[in-house]
Amino acid sequence: MSEERTPGFNTLAIHAGAQPDASTGARATPIYQTTSFVFDDADHAAALFNLEAFGNIYTRIMNPTQAVLEERLATLEGGTAALAVASGHAAQAIVFHTLLEPGGEFIAARQLYGGSINQFGEAFKKFDWRVKWADTTDAESFRAALTPKTKAIFVESIANPGGVITDLAAISAVAKEAGVPLIVDNTLATPYLLKPKEYGADIIVHSLTKFLGGHGNSIGGVIVDCGTFDWIGSGRYSTLSSPCSSYHGVTLGETFGNFAFAIACRVLGLRDLGPAISPMNAFLILTGIETLPLRMQRHCDNALKVAYWLSNHDKIAWVNYAGLPGNNFYDLARRYCPAGAGAVFTFGLKGGYETGIALVSEVQLFSHLANIGDTRSLIIHPSSTTHRQLADDARERAGAGDDVVRLSIGLEDVDDIIADLDQALASV
């Protein structure tokens, strides 16, 4: 392909970061199932450990299979570099480990996946990292939550489980005025539907377990450095702007420029906390990404048809899917996600909590489990599972009230998906 031509998204999903294996000619990226790598000589080893040369040392820090995955994801998101880790939660922990000191604050949207709410509000207390909550639907609520200690703003591009489409440009404006990075969890949208960097994101995270891997067979996470934040000019992030004692006084922000954040996450956070992705999982997720454009379009097309059907069912009180005309987020969905509003949405059952539990027990094609983004259609009652640790008011604010059922629409024939919901609703 000529250097003048920019490959399309489908091509990049298959080819970015990958080359035939130099030693064997293998076309698919091999699974480098090894703990460590041989150095050329003592000088080569020293250069690697001093960050004077790039290369493989130990699979906890870097592995060739992982490297292809990272380059592909950075390319698809338009970033400068990426770091793959063991899970989406690990990605978030490494991001904030790099940004915060004890007593540091960040602002997060309250409309988040329940596990993230618990991680931010409970687990992070042990590091003395402090979260302040804001409303995804109101950019000014983020401004009101700012303090001199605020070091970042965190949102989901499409909120899980509520299906809220976030006005990234408006919240990015608040972050830029405050001089802090905007972190966007792009798991539900994927770069096929939405590229947060185009709307002001500085750091992007994903649970690779979901739509990017896409097959419910592997767990992983990724941090994408957009290369847009001035760590040195800000002077507020000592990990990047001060001499690093771990590497003989190297200032990471100066040495690595627009991919310094990804380097800091790797050589400090991943090195010391250790949530490495396995080569096998990196391989499986890479394979999933090759079909991402085809899968995401089918997910969205099926989801829209299911949402229309549910909205006309007499046992359904409401359907919250941003792809439906009249939805509060319909206009934002058309602006940010014109190819489709994603595959995850919620609806409310007449009858509330007990009816929700009954419904998930009656489905046959759907799988009742705590995941999204599988080829298979999935169902869950969040208030009795993923969000049950939260207080009643917190569940409501997160979009997981007692009557809420969450669907992740898969790739089956849509008539079969609807038929299963139909028989299950008839049973309750």
Confidence bin at 14 (pLDDT 50/70/90) = very high
Whether pLDDT at 1 is above 70: no
Beta strands in 279-420 (DSSP E): 316-320, 344-349, 367-368, 378-380, 404-408
Side-by-side strand order, sheet with 105-109: 81-85, 221-225, 203-207, 182-185, 150-156, 105-109, 130-134
On whether the 292-427 domain is CATH 3.40.190.10, my answer is no
Residues 307-355 pLDDT 10s: 999 999 999 999 999 999 999 999 999 999 999 999 999 999 998 788 8
Centre a 10 Å sphere on the Cβ of residue 212 and count the other Cβ atoms it contains: 29
Say if CB 154 and CB 171 are below 8 A apart.
no
Q: Is the pLDDT of residue 28 over 90?
A: yes
For the record, the structure tokens of 397 come out as: 């604010």
Over pLDDT 70: what percentage of the chain? 97
- Short-list 364, 317, 323, CA closest to 344: 323
101: number of Cβ within 10 Å? 13
DSSP code at position 63: -
CA-based diameter of the chain, in Å? Answer: 73
Q: What is the pTM of this model?
A: 0.95
User: Looking at the predicted structure, is the pLDDT value of residue 375 above 70?
Assistant: yes
- pLDDT tens by residue, 171-181: 999 999 999 99
Q: Which residue carries 């500085």 as its tokens?
A: 202
Interval 180-209: pLDDT, tens: 999 999 999 999 999 999 999 999 999 999
CATH of domain 9-288: 3.40.640.10
Q: 3-7, 61-65, 150-154, 380-384: which has the minimum mean pLDDT?
A: 3-7
Torsion of CA 315, 319, 324, 327, to 10 degrees: 130
Share of the chain above pLDDT 90, in %: 89
Cβ proximity of 39 and 28 under 8 Å: no
Residue 114: pLDDT band (50, 70, 90) is confident
- In this predicted structure, the answer to whether residue 216 has a pLDDT above a threshold of 80 is yes
User: Residue 146: how many CB atoms within 10 A of its CB?
Assistant: 18
> According to the model, what pLDDT value does residue 397 have?
67
* 335 C-beta neighbours (distance < 10 Å), count: 15
The one-letter amino acid at 75: T
pLDDT of residue 122: 95
Strands (E), 280-425: 316-320, 344-349, 367-368, 378-380, 404-408
pLDDT at 279 over 90: yes
pLDDT band with cut points at 50, 70 and 90 for residue 163: confident
Mean residue pLDDT of the chain comes to: 95
3-state class (DSSP) for residue 313: coil
Residue from 54, 29, 12 nearest 281 by CA: 29
Give phi and psi for 252, each to the nearest 5: -60, -40
Instruction: Decide: 158 and 399 in contact? Cβ < 8 Å.
Output: no
Where does the pLDDT of residue 386 fall: very low under 50, low under 70, confident under 90, or very high at 90 and above?
low
- Sketch the domain layout of the chain as residue ranges: 9-288, 292-427
Q: How far does CA 67 lie from the centroid of its chain?
A: 18
